[in-house]
Chain A
Amino acid sequence: GNSVTQMEGPVTLSEEAFLTINCTYTATGYPSLFWYVQYPGEGLQLLLKATKADDKGSNKGFEATYRKETTSFHLEKGSVQVSDSAVYFCALNRDDKIIFGKGTRLHILP
């Protein structure tokens, strides 16, 4: 069946460090892929998405590229800020179902 695996957290980085959060997926066909972010005490917000192979989603300095050959959609940011501290969810959409990874908690230290 369809599934999403993302790296376990928490991930702790210093401000201005480079961020990678790994996400791989298993799905039939060509799912759409998403990254959502959940700030403390809030609901989820769509961070970025990609709907086909080699698409790059980007928003607020974050980027992720849809890699069909490695079934991956890793999230990257060149220089993180304290305000990026949150939980990040990778998700896929296929056949009218959305499936989320377990989430990765990110702590950024000043």
Chain B
Amino acid sequence: DSGVTQTPKHLITATGQRVTLRCSPRSGDLSVYWYQQSLDQGLQFLIQYYNGEERAKGNILERFSAQQFPDLHSELNLSSLELGDSALYFCASSVFSGRDPFYNEQFFGPGTRLTVL
């Protein structure tokens, strides 16, 4: 158990809908990362938040957005969903040193499996 929790575990929805994925980091970790893992695109970094502020951005679509709240939990919002958004979405957390966002070890949650029908 990494200490990172994600809800829900599974989500099934229809095209055009909007969903919210939730992540709670390990106790004491200020940094949260979101990743998408799909069969065709592989594993991709989406976005990182540190102590409530966006710190690094990867291949995140404009239809997707994220935020980190004062209690450090984070939400990933996916809107206007398409079939191709079906994937496993991982959240990770780390102790961020303030330099390289990927320098310190990240601890991954179990993921949310999103199926868009």
Contact = CB atoms under 8 A, between A and B. Distances in A.
Contacts of B109: 43
A45 B105 CA distance: 9
B102 A32 contact: yes
Nearest to B55: A96
A83 B111 CA distance: 22
Report which residue of A32, A89, A97, A98 has the largest number of chain B beta carbons within 10 angstroms of its beta carbon: A98
A109 to B, nearest CB: 25
Contact of A43 (B100, B103, B105, B108): B108
B42 interface: yes
Contacts, number: 49
A89 B110 contact: no
B103 A98 contact: no
Nearest to A102: B42
Interface of A is mostly: strand
Contacts of B101: 96
B78 interface: no
A22 interface: no
A96 B100 contact: yes
A45 B42 contact: no
Contact of B108 (A45, A96, A97): A45
Interface of A: 32, 34, 41-46, 51, 89, 93, 96-103
Given A32-B102, A98-B102, 18 more contacts: A32-B103, A43-B2, A43-B92, A43-B109, A43-B111, A44-B108, A45-B2, A45-B108, A51-B103, A93-B100, A93-B103, A96-B101, A96-B102, A98-B45, A99-B45, A100-B42, A100-B43, A103-B43
Interface of B: 2, 4, 42-45, 55-56, 58, 90, 92, 100-103, 105-106, 108-111
30 contacts: A32-B100, A32-B102, A34-B102, A42-B108, A43-B2, A43-B4, A43-B90, A43-B92, A43-B108, A44-B90, A44-B106, A44-B108, A45-B108, A46-B106, A51-B103, A89-B43, A93-B103, A96-B55, A96-B56, A96-B100, A97-B45, A97-B56, A97-B58, A99-B45, A100-B42, A100-B44, A100-B45, A102-B42, A103-B42, A103-B43
